[in-house]
Amino acid sequence: MSNINLNTIISGSVGSGRNYLSMIYALSIIDGKPVEEILKESSDTLRKRSNELTEEGQIFNIAFNENLRYDDFVEGFMGIDPTGNIIYSNGVLKSIATLAKQNMIGCFMDQLPKKDFSITFNQLYKAFMEEIKNEQVSYFSSTKGQKFMVHRVEQRGNFYVRGENSYSTFYISRAELKKVFEKGPEILNAKFDPKIKILSGASQNPEPYEAVYDTLLIFRQKYIDELLQKKHLDLAEIGTFDFSQFSKEITDCCKKYVVIIEHMDVANAAKIFGDTVGLLEESRRAGKPEEAFIYLPFSKAPFSLPPNLYMIGLIGNNENYSDAGNLALLNNFEIIQVEQNIHDVWPKDEDHILEGIDLIKMVENINHRMEILLPKTFTVNPYIFKSVKTIDDLRDKFKKRIIPQLERAFSGDLSKLRLVLGKDFIGDRNINPEIDFLDFEYGKFKISDKEFRVTDTAKWTKSSFQRIYKQ
């Protein structure tokens, strides 16, 4: 069983292994295994599994940048169609939250035939009001044949009706209707005797309540039948679904979804999350006692975050989070500081020796020099070498991963790279200063007689790698 927090931030320098750890956490969450057990697998096996889950839509990676907006992350405006309706796009968070909710509802549906199904008044009434607002229910009819038309609907679920052939209006209270509904069939099937009148608060006009209630009962059966037949609900239905009836067993058995946010500290994360920040806390997730939701700006649909959606953010070590909005965002996350222990990668002495090359000493010396030249901003991730089996593999890692990473870290300054790796990897390149260059009006350029270059990979021997830690 995974014990990863719903909202987690992994803080560490570039190369500290925070990306790798985010993958480990995501696999732990989705596969329900402790982190310690996940780490026993080879890196190739873990990456293959991670790719599978990404393709299946359970892991979603997004990189924050300065151009990313709320529109991209939650919901965005795209235009207005010829009929005047707003065209909107679904952002990353909205899309994956919808998938997570659909899966939870599907798990719930799978269990419906196996138990006595009872629908809560809140869930039923949400769906009922949507039907009324969409004019799918235009009148209420009692078993006595009385009809009442919808006159006006208020925001809190209360509404007015009027008689079919009358202009007199009657107020229907959601709270009072709930009292009647929850008293059970033995009372509700009565013909609105004085007990019902007292309960409903409709002592003077019980007939409208009776008509609404009878219509609600018919709708209830229709709604249940539709739920039993459907595994995937549309966005409007998901918005009105009552997750409070979900047991812990249902929540535990459904799929888990993970959003991994790289470079969360590069942009103004608080603005990107916007009003969804208030939905992040576990106690405020869908179905929880303090469930919170917002109305999305363009679809106007109610939106909440499900308890099977996890957020993992990646940030640097020394960033400034003094902005009040970002501080409020971070307060919803458990922050884990990555202090790379190289012995976590190679727990046994014999594992880190490759054809006479001490990989631990090699990585430690590289990172020590990087720490001096670029304090707290970059380290080489030792997990890069986890899959190395031969010296040819090691050459390949240096050529494709290590040197390009270090070169970017030093903004292309190979002289500093030479200080870290040595002349076996970064050699001299002599330039003939007597070459007849064109003389621009800006004057003659001074050409250094010594430049640096990355040496031939084939010439990187065992001794070359050993010299990184042997002076």
Residues 365 and 461 in one domain: yes
Residue 240: inside a domain, yes or no? Answer: no
Residues 304 and 225 in one domain: no
Residue 253: inside a domain, yes or no? Answer: yes
What crossing angle do the helices spanning 206-229 and 121-133 adopt, rounded to 10°? Answer: 100
Residues 170 and 256 in one domain: no
Domain containing residue 31: CATH number: 3.40.50
What sign does the CA torsion over 322, 323, 328, 329 have? negative
pLDDT on residue 394: 95
The helix (run of H) or strand (run of E) holding residue 90 is strand 86-90
Residue 116: inside a domain, yes or no? Answer: no
Q: Which regions of 189-342 does DSSP assign to beta strands (E)?
A: 257-262, 294-295, 302-303, 309-315, 334-337
Residue 112: inside a domain, yes or no? Answer: no
User: What percentage of the chain's residues is helix, strand, coil (to nearest 5)?
Assistant: 45, 15, 40
**Range 356-360 contact pairs with CB under 8 angstroms and sequence separation of 24 or more:** 356/462, 356/466, 357/391, 357/394, 357/462, 357/465, 357/466, 358/466, 358/469, 359/385, 359/388
Residue 236: inside a domain, yes or no? Answer: no
Range of the domain at 347: 342-466
Residues 411 and 332 in one domain: no
Cβ-in-10-Å burial (0-12, 13-18, 19+) of 76 comes to middle
Q: Which two tokens stand for residue 109?
A: 């549906």
pLDDT on residue 418: 92
Final residue of a structural domain among 229, 260, 285: 229
Residues 365 and 462 in one domain: yes
The total of structural domains in the chain comes to 3
pLDDT on residue 188: 44
Instruction: Give me the tens of pLDDT residue by residue for the chain, a chain 471 residues long.
Output: 678 999 999 987 766 778 889 999 999 999 999 998 998 888 889 999 999 999 998 999 999 988 999 999 999 998 888 888 888 899 999 999 988 988 887 776 666 554 445 567 877 888 888 888 777 777 787 666 778 888 888 877 888 888 877 778 888 888 877 877 776 544 444 544 544 444 444 445 667 877 888 888 888 878 777 765 654 555 555 656 666 666 666 667 789 999 999 988 878 888 999 999 999 998 999 888 888 889 999 988 889 999 999 999 998 764 545 555 677 788 889 988 876 667 666 766 557 888 999 999 999 899 889 888 886 667 787 878 878 889 999 999 999 989 998 988 888 889 899 999 999 999 887 655 555 555 555 455 555 555 788 999 999 999 999 999 986
- Reference 261, options 100, 471, 22; nearest CA is 22
Cβ-in-10-Å burial (0-12, 13-18, 19+) of 440 comes to exposed
Alpha carbons 140 and 84: distance in angstroms, whole number = 31
Residue 437: inside a domain, yes or no? Answer: yes
Q: Pairing relation of β-strands 86-90 and 139-141?
A: unpaired
Residue 20: inside a domain, yes or no? Answer: yes
Name the residue type at position 422: G
Residue 110: inside a domain, yes or no? Answer: no
Residues 225 and 139 in one domain: yes
Alpha carbons 464 and 442: distance in angstroms, whole number = 43
The helix (run of H) or strand (run of E) holding residue 226 is helix 206-229
- Say if residues 306 and 96 touch (Cβ distance below 8 Å): no
Alpha carbons 345 and 342: distance in angstroms, whole number = 6
Final residue of a structural domain among 337, 372, 394: 337
Residues 369 and 428 in one domain: yes
